[in-house]
């Protein structure tokens, strides 16, 4: 089992689907750094982290990650980090972050110096986290705007961006070619509908396009589609903005797929999903880059038949990708040595030796980590691939495809603390739409009312 994919929060719902009930009541009380100065004359804000000034910084840091393949990848980089910082001892702990982090931050007991966290959860913990604007300043212009946006709240950047998870259209090239369809001609979502209709005509009984049955992942995929249109469930101030033309367009398209019988409704890589993929009944999968795990590990019958291309655009000339998931590293104010933890993350994400160790060939991923790309532009260089061709995709150069798609992702906004709670309303109502119980307009109207009343107004 490819545990890195399954445990990486943007790649599996078991880690990410825990309810985001972050009713944080107390502001964190980290050590003050107001005596320092930034940029010469301006005093440093009390919650803005500063990098160590010692030539040879020393101390101990505690870093929390989820268990699984990514834990092993980060763990292996510690030796490389210690070649640069030999006097910093890294205690790397595998932790159930969803279960443990909130209480740890509230009580202020045994708080880690750094934590791997879903982007969707950063805003909910923001009161407890350092503002990283100053330490990130040398790199900000080279970080994907969407990742800066999702980590920013009230002018502060609360996370060190890790991965960029561009949406791609995965397709079974062999099955489509056998049906006389050239997937590379698909440029818009209208084109995708036309291709699905043609495939269904050639392969009676097929339902070519994936429709997600998990309420959580269905909402996450909905956000990927909305991201292409430059919007999200909440704006930069946390205000609900579901009632919009963009969401009507996306939900209308999904409803068309469902109403015309063009969609296989199944939970991501469940047995019924895998069965439809292996049989050729389901040949189009609009999803984040981490779907590449499937033809590599799970689709044994059709492995090698699949390819990836940029998502279709919603209109001619529109963005060909959107963000679906993502993670970052956060530094709690009550961590004893957060400034040293910053050096660890700086090495991982912005030092070539660090990011090559993460995404390049290693003991855990012999071909490199092909389920995401770096959020840092110098690391995501199309001409300098960090992972190799993906055999499950017929030896395709997924690196170049993903990097080019990632560059098209519009900016975003921080996910509000109530985002996962909205699954009970929006995610569930999308499923009711597939059941035929709601129209797209009713999904928007009812979800907006429920989210506003039960989540937004209660913050």
**Tokens 């979800």 map to which residue?**
447
Is the same domain home to 117 and 8? yes
> What is the reported pLDDT for 327?
95
Q: Does residue 379 sit in the same domain as residue 304?
A: no
Neighbours of 64 (CB within 10 A): 25
Residue 399 lies in a domain: no
Q: What is the pLDDT of residue 451?
A: 98
Residue 171 lies in a domain: yes
Give the pLDDT mean for 140-148. Answer: 95
Q: Is 90:81 a contact under the CB 8 Å cutoff? A: yes
115: in domain: yes
Residues 6+ apart with CB under 8 A from 19: 420, 421
State whether 302 and 240 are in the same domain. yes
Note whether 158 and 265 are same-domain residues.
no
Confidence of residue 10 (pLDDT cuts 50, 70, 90): very low
- Average pLDDT score over the chain: 90
Q: What are phi and psi of 30, to 5 degrees?
A: -75, 170
Helix (H) or strand (E) holding 91: strand 88-94
Helix axes 426-434, 440-451, angle to 10 degrees: 160
pLDDT tens track for 352-386: 999 999 999 999 999 999 999 999 999 999 999 99
pLDDT value of residue 217: 96
Q: Does one domain contain both 142 and 44? A: yes
Q: Which of 23-27, 219-223, 239-243 shows the lowest mean pLDDT across its residues?
A: 23-27
Domain assignment present for residue 277? The answer is: yes
Instruction: Flag whether 397 is in a domain.
Output: no
195 Rama sector, left if φ>0, alpha if ψ -120 to 50, beta otherwise: alpha
CB 132 within 8 A of CB 343: no
Tell me: do 61 and 74 sit in the same domain.
yes
Looking only at the bridges linking them, the beta strands covering 327-330 and 263-266 are unpaired
Domain-located, residue 393: no
210 shares its domain with 344: no
Q: Does the global pTM surpass 0.75?
A: yes
| 306 shares its domain with 377 | no
Q: For residues 400 and 403, give the distance between their C-alpha atoms in angstroms, rounded to a whole number.
A: 5
Backbone angles phi, psi at 141, to 5 degrees: -65, -20
Residue 181 has pLDDT above 90, yes or no: yes
Is 406 part of any domain?
no
Task: Count structural domains, the chain.
Answer: 2
State which of 373, 388, 403 marks the end of a domain.
388
Residue 105 maps to which CATH number?
3.40.190.10
Structural domain of residue 69, as residue ranges?
3-164+326-388
Decide: helix, strand or coil at residue 77. helix
Residues 314 and 450 both lie in one domain:
yes
**Are residues 141 and 171 part of one domain?**
no
Res 26 pLDDT > 60: no
Percent of the chain's residues with pLDDT above 70: 90
Task: Judge if 35 and 135 occupy the same domain.
Answer: yes
**Sign of the torsion formed by the C-alpha atoms of 314, 317, 318 and 323:** positive
In a domain, residue 395? The reply is no
Same domain, 145 and 257: no
């Amino acid at each position: 089992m490819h545990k890195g994919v399954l445990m990486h929060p943007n790649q599996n719902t078991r880690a990410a689907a825990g309810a985001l009930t972050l009713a944080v009541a107390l502001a964190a009380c980290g050590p003050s750094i107001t005596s320092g100065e930034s940029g010469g004359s301006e005093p440093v804000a009390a919650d803005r982290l500063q990098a160590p000034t010692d030539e040879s910084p020393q101390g101990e840091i505690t870093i929390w990650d989820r268990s699984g393949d990514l834990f092993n990848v980060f763990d292996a980089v510690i030796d490389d980090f210690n070649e640069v910082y030999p006097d910093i001892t890294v205690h790397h702990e595998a932790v159930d972050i969803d279960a443990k982090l909130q209480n740890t931050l509230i009580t202020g007991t045994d708080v880690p110096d750094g934590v791997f966290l879903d982007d969707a959860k950063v805003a909910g913990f923001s009161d407890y986290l350092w503002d990283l604007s100053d330490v990130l300043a040398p790199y900000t212009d080279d970080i994907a705007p969407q990742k800066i946006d999702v980590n920013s709240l009230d002018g502060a950047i609360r996370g060190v961006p890790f991965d960029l998870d561009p949406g791609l259209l995965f397709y079974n090239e062999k099955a489509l070619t056998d049906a006389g369809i050239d997937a590379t001609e698909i440029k818009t979502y209208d084109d995708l509908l036309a291709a699905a209709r043609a495939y269904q005509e050639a392969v009676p009984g097929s339902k070519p396009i994936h429709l997600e049955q998990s309420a959580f992942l269905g909402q996450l995929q909905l956000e990927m589609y909305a991201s292409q249109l430059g919007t999200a469930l909440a704006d930069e101030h946390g205000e609900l903005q579901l009632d919009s033309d963009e969401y009507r367009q996306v939900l209308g398209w999904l409803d068309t797929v469902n109403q015309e019988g063009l969609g296989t409704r199944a939970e991501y890589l469940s047995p019924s999903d895998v069965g439809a993929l292996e049989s050729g009944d389901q040949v189009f999968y609009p999803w984040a880059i981490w779907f590449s795990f499937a033809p590599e590990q799970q689709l044994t019958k059709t492995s090698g038949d699949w390819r990836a291309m940029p998502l279709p655009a919603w209109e001619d000339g529109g963005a060909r990708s959107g963000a679906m998931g993502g993670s970052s590293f956060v530094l709690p104010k009550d961590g004893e040595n957060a400034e040293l933890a910053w050096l660890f993350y700086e090495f991982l994400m912005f030092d070539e030796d660090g990011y090559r160790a993460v995404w390049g060939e290693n003991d855990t991923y012999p071909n490199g980590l092909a389920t995401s790309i770096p959020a840092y532009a110098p690391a995501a260089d199309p001409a300098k691939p960090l992972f190799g061709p993906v055999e499950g995709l017929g030896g395709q150069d997924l690196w170049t495809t993903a990097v080019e798609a990632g560059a098209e992702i519009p900016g975003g906004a921080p996910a509000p603390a109530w985002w996962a709670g909205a699954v009970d309303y929006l995610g569930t109502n999308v499923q009711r739409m597939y059941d035929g119980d709601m129209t797209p307009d009713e999904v928007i109207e009812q979800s907006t009312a429920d989210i506003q009343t039960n989540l937004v107004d209660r913050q």
